[in-house]
Structure 1
């Protein structure tokens, strides 16, 4: 019988494999039969998707504590603030794809598989991992604001990269097509979504932490 303390490791190990496999498959599909000289720019574009960056961080956070728990990367992956922030980011990945991108993108075959893993399976798996296995009761409301730093830096990179390369990862951040006003609206809306999800994460953390203390149980 599987012991209770082994369940997190089994869950995290399984979805670490899923996450890395999905990232690898998506990269191969994006590179395709490209010429060697095109690979550097395609690789930069690949890592310019918020979906890719967030899934990469999530895969690292699942993997590192299992492989080297006592390493700096292992401690980073196990940190309750890091795991909560990643739960927020990857939840927004799933929500944004479903609400803003699914209607303009209909992948088939292996592309459908990679897309589903990155936008649905991994967001659900990581949020559930945070809910089930990450200790609760350690977050403050200000954390939800601090976590906005990553998407803000991403927006700045996207604009800089977009104007220098002419390539934009998402239609709602394409300044050249939408103009600054409409792009600014979408950027503000997205930051509002990040903040709302972040506040929900903090609220759940505090609620579950309080419930655990009231019952005398260890935080979930």
Structure 2
């Protein structure tokens, strides 16, 4: 069951990578991703679509209870803390909307948004785990 929760959490994270890229970073052009075009496509578009399709289509997962949804937040909270500490100390952050120069009110708005979106997509992924899969894995 722990592996299934970890897989559901990772599926949530990579779906959010795709959504954040499509909505916030792709419009920035080269500044919104890595400088290698095929890597952007593979990481930010193909992998999230594949992960969601895999989660929906295949039955090699157990039902995940919503009482475990909090687990989805562990990695993003640790990641945000590391990013904010690093942004405050040396100024580097991976995304422009988390840069301290935009003001901490803006940064914490996006952090709150990250938590809400993580819970929303985590709920969707956990809900899908309770649905019947289209394809059966022996």
State the aligned residue count: 134
Q: TM-score, normalised by structure 1?
A: 0.55
Q: Which runs of 5+ in 2 are unaligned?
A: none
- The answer as to 2:4 corresponding to 1:80 is yes
Structure-2-length-normalised TM-score: 0.85
Give, in whole Å, the separation in 2 of the partners of 1:204 and 1:142.
15
Q: RMSD across aligned C-alpha pairs, in angstroms?
A: 2.4
Question: For each residue in 1:89-116, what CA deviation from the matched residue of structure 2 results, as whole angstroms up to 9, or x when unmatched?
Answer: 0000000010111111248xx7111111
Asked if 1:92 corresponds to 2:16, the answer is: yes
Give the greater-gyration-radius structure (CA).
1
Report what 1:112 is aligned to: 37
User: In the alignment, is the contact (CA less than 8 A) between 1:136 and 1:219 conserved in 2?
Assistant: no
Which of 73, 76, 85 is the matching residue for 1:151?
76
2:87 corresponds in structure 1 to 162
Equivalent pair of 1:88/1:197 in contact (CA under 8 Å): yes
- The answer (yes or no) to whether the contact 1:144–1:198 under 8 Å persists in 2 is yes
Distance 1:173 1:143 in 2: 28
CA contact (8 A) 1:136 1:208 kept: no
Specify whether residues 208 and 137 from structure 1 end up closer, same or farther in structure 2 by C-alpha distance, changes over 3 A only.
farther
Distance 2:11 2:113 in 1: 19
Matches within 5 A, 1:178-217: 178-208=102-132
Report SS of the residue matched to 2:131. helix
